[in-house]
Amino acid sequence: MKFGIVGKKENKEVFKITKELCQWLQQKKVDFLVERELGEPINISNLADENDLVSKIDILIVLGGDGTFLGASRLVDGNDVEILGVNLGGLGFLTEFTEDELYLILEKILEGKYETEKRELLRSKLVRNNEVVGTYSALNDLVINNGPVSRVVDLAIYINGEHITTPKADGIIFSTPTGSTAYSLSAGGPIVYPTLPVIIMTPICPHVLTNRPLVVSSDTEIKVEILQDAHNTYVTLDGQIGFPLEKGDEIYLKNSDSHINIIKSPFRDYFSILKTKLMWGERYGSIS
């Protein structure tokens, strides 16, 4: 078993934790690699470039938050690598482990006493002038909107080749179940259990009240056609990768043939995280 370590390099605490983690792994005589930009400043010798690291390991330890985890999920896409997310702030939806739990779960992993959970990725391709100009994957969501300009996005949505709607909204979010607790939730979308095989379509600030969130099978092929002169219309993946669209562009979405394997926490379940993050059961005061 070989571990890889990546982390949020803007957080100085990550370098300290990485050094301690490497010392612990060495004591356990466990093989590991550290991404070069994280390991060089703390004099770690077992280094690899970020893109090469995932092809040489079995488990990737991600130190940071959910944003760092999302970036790591694109790294492991297509590789048989399990991901262990450690949140250095509070609990995350993806980074399920606290810093205090890191070595406890590592002990369990070395003993083979742990479980993983498969999460589907959303695969998309951009077609421009009848040519595929890019293919992308996202663990959380793909969003189409007008960027800094708040106005209606003019687009048409097709499901399995059939025109479904031309929504009047500020944009639209296509979300995986994993991403249902992210941007989609803030736009009024449903919370969906993360292993269900579905895609969630959530309009952003719909101008017609009948434009509501829609959940379809992840085997469905969705096509979005950009109908307007898209000077400020952007597509964004996981809130981290984005680029402008043009009139006539077509985006095709479907579940990915690949998936990622997340190491599950034995210390709490998904609903415990929901209760903590969304403060379910909290009383905000009473009316006197």
Q: Is 66 a catalytic residue?
A: yes
| Per-residue pLDDT tens digits for 218-242 | 999 999 999 987 678 899 999 999 9
List the beta bridge partners of residue 115.
none
Crossing angle of helices 102-110/12-27, nearest 10°? 30
At residue 285, does pLDDT exceed 60? no
> Which domains does the chain possess?
2-115+264-278 (3.40.50.10330), 122-257 (2.60.200.30)
Confidence band for 272, pLDDT divided at 50, 70 and 90: confident
12 sits in which H/E element:
helix 12-27
Ordered DSSP codes for 187-205: TTPPP--TTS-EEEEEEES
The pLDDT value recorded for residue 211 is 87
CA 71 to chain centre: 7
Cα–Cα–Cα angle for 220, 163, 254, nearest 5°?
20
Choose between 251 and 256: higher pLDDT: 251
Residue 282 CA neighbour count, 13 Å, CB half:
8
Catalytic entry in 66, 77, 238, 249: 66
Please state the pTM of the whole predicted model: 0.91
| Per-residue pLDDT tens digits for 176-202 | 999 999 999 999 999 999 999 999 999
Query: Could you give the C-alpha distances from 201 to 90, 114, 180, in angstroms and in order?
Result: 29, 33, 10
Q: Are 19 and 39 in contact (CB under 8 A)?
A: no
Question: What does the alpha-carbon distance between residue 119 and residue 197 come to, in Å, rounded to a whole number?
Answer: 9
The stretch 141-158 carries a mean pLDDT of 85
The residues, ordered by sequence, that sit 6+ positions from 7 with a Cβ below 8 Å of its Cβ are: 14, 17, 18, 35, 38, 62, 63, 64, 68
Q: Are 68 and 139 in contact (CB under 8 A)?
A: no
Question: What does the alpha-carbon distance between residue 60 and residue 25 come to, in Å, rounded to a whole number?
Answer: 13
150 sits in which H/E element:
none
The pLDDT value recorded for residue 288 is 47
Report DSSP state, residue 101: G
The pLDDT value recorded for residue 208 is 84
At residue 13, does pLDDT exceed 60? yes
At residue 287, does pLDDT exceed 60? no
Task: Look at 42-51, 82-91, 109-118, 168-177 and tell me which has the smallest mean pLDDT.
Answer: 82-91
The burial class, CB within 10 Å (0-12 / 13-18 / 19+), for 286 is: exposed
- 147, two tokens: 């960027």
The pLDDT value recorded for residue 140 is 96
The stretch 235-257 carries a mean pLDDT of 92
Q: Are 97 and 62 in contact (CB under 8 A)?
A: no
Q: Which of 3, 4, 7 is nearest to 69 (CA)?
A: 7
The pLDDT value recorded for residue 148 is 65
